């Protein structure tokens, strides 16, 4: 029923020059929305969109951030593919909870990486942590992106459609080199999937990271992105400048990097609580032991 609109959506997304991940997500989310309504696209109303949002929130317990991405996809479809004028007052952006991400200690990160028997998994995890990469970025690395002599990793067209370079640690280079020899010296995708000429999927990485962290009894909520968070926090603790970390992570705004400042143990070290400035109270103050 809506195949022609979905084909047009794919064209519009390509014309907009979104990243492939964004194109795939917007297409998938819009298709799911259309299937939920069971209507022809041109007959869909704001009431249908609101009903879909409440369904995701109440029946599927999706987070506000996820619902907002769905809404952005539907809005793009309405504005660019159908040519409608979007009224944001009728579909307000959902306020997100600002939860701090899970941060592992260095010992926990080391345990996670060192205990991986699968060397491909070990190489992927160590690269995300040692270079601060997103899971989508590590999956799409090619052999030539690892600049061994310069100790750098080239990250092509990341989330913000910009190239950048990040660091390549000596220890991670050793792991990558061993992986490369063990896995038939891949020359295209650095981490290929079992499908010919395709990179490993982000879903596959998420599955093995979560499973391994759970098996080790690490804190709840460990995901591939946890490695990136840990890189940023541990680098701050080591005295690396906020600005340099922002560049390594590929953040356009310093606000995206600021969240790590309050999560480092070093940020709280040396800060004296006002309570410690009070005169001694209680038993010591009375001097009678009661």
Distances in Å between the Cα of 84 and the Cα atoms of 32, 77, 288 are 20, 9, 80
Structural tokens at position 32:
């799911």
**For the chain, what percent of residues have pLDDT higher than 70?**
88
List 159, 164, 210, 242, catalytic entry: 159
Tell which wins on pLDDT, 32 or 186: 32
Task: Give the CA dihedral 66, 229, 150, 198, nearest 10 degrees.
Answer: -30
Phi-psi region of 282 (alpha: psi -120 to 50; beta: other; left: phi over 0): left
Beta bridge partners of 153: 146, 166
* In the predicted structure, residue 228 carries a pLDDT above the cut 80: yes
Around 19, how many Cα atoms within 13 Å sit in the side-chain half-sphere? 14
Would you call 229 a catalytic residue per the annotation? Answer: no
* pLDDT tier at 283, thresholds 50, 70, 90: very low
Tell which wins on pLDDT, 163 or 9: 9
Write out pLDDT tens, residues 233-245: 899 888 888 888 8
- Alpha helix positions (H), 20-118: 20-37, 46-54, 64-76, 106-114
Structural tokens at position 271:
């800060």
Question: Is the alpha carbon torsion for 191, 194, 196, 199 positive or negative?
Answer: negative
Would you call 225 a catalytic residue per the annotation? Answer: yes
Task: Give the CA dihedral 71, 76, 82, 84, nearest 10 degrees.
Answer: 80
Prediction pTM value: 0.75
Which candidate, 194, 173, 170, places its Cα nearest to that of 184?
194
Distances in Å between the Cα of 242 and the Cα atoms of 234, 257, 261, 275 are 12, 7, 8, 30
* In the predicted structure, residue 87 carries a pLDDT above the cut 70: yes
In this structure, how many other beta carbons lie within 10 angstroms of the beta carbon of residue 247? 13
List 134, 212, 229, 234, catalytic entry: 134
Which candidate, 235, 281, 282, 277, places its Cα nearest to that of 260?
235
Tell which wins on pLDDT, 75 or 247: 75
Per-chain mean pLDDT for the chain: 89
Interatomic CA distance for residues 177 and 191, integer angstroms: 13
Q: Return all residues near 51 (Cβ < 8 A) that are at least 6 apart.
A: none
Which candidate, 139, 129, 124, 112, places its Cα nearest to that of 226?
129
How far is C-alpha 250 from the geometric centre of its chain's CA atoms? 12
Asked if 250 and 160 touch (Cβ cutoff 8 Å), the reply is yes
Tell which wins on pLDDT, 186 or 97: 186
pLDDT of residue 278: 73
Interatomic CA distance for residues 145 and 278, integer angstroms: 57
* In the predicted structure, residue 47 carries a pLDDT above the cut 90: yes
Write out pLDDT tens, residues 119-148: 999 999 999 999 999 999 999 999 999 999
* In the predicted structure, residue 280 carries a pLDDT above the cut 90: no
pLDDT of residue 277: 67
**For the chain, what percent of residues have pLDDT higher than 90?**
70
List 31, 62, 225, 242, catalytic entry: 225
Write out pLDDT tens, residues 16-32: 999 888 999 999 999 99
Would you call 121 a catalytic residue per the annotation? Answer: no
Q: Mind listing the domains of the chain with CATH numbers?
A: 3-81 (1.10.150.130), 106-268 (1.10.443.10)
* In the predicted structure, residue 11 carries a pLDDT above the cut 50: yes
List 122, 228, 229, 234, catalytic entry: 228
Would you call 159 a catalytic residue per the annotation? Answer: yes
């Amino acid at each position: 029923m809506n195949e022609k609109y979905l084909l047009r959506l794919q064209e519009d997304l390509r014309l907009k020059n979104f990243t492939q991940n964004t194109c795939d997500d917007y297409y998938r989310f819009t298709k799911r929305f259309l299937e939920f309504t069971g209507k022809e696209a041109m007959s869909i109303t704001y009431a249908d969109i609101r009903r879909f949002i409440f369904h995701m929130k109440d029946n599927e317990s999706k987070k506000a951030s996820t619902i907002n991405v769905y809404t952005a996809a539907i809005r793009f479809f309405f504005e660019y593919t159908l040519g409608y004028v979007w009224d944001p007052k009728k579909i307000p952006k959902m306020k997100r909870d600002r939860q701090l991400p899970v941060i592992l200690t260095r010992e926990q990160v080391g345990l996670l990486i060192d205990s991986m028997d699968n060397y491909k998994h070990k190489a992927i995890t160590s690269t995300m942590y040692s270079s601060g990469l997103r899971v989508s970025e590590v999956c799409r690395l090619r052999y030539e992106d690892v600049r061994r002599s310069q100790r750098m990793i080239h990250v092509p067209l990341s989330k913000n459609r910009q190239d950048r370079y990040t660091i390549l640690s000596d220890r991670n280079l050793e792991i990558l080199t061993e992986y490369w020899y063990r896995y038939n010296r891949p020359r295209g995708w650095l981490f290929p999937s079992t499908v010919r000429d395709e990179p490993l999927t982000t879903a596959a990485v998420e599955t093995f990271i979560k499973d391994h962290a759970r098996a080790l009894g690490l804190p709840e909520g460990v995901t591939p992105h946890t490695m990136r968070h840990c890189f940023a926090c541990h680098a701050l603790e080591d005295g690396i400048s906020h600005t340099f970390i922002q560049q390594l992570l590929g953040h356009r705004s310093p606000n995206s990097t600021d969240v790590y400042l309050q999560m480092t143990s070093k940020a709280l070290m040396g800060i004296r609580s006002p309570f410690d400035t009070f005169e001694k109270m209680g038993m010591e103050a009375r001097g009678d032991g009661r």
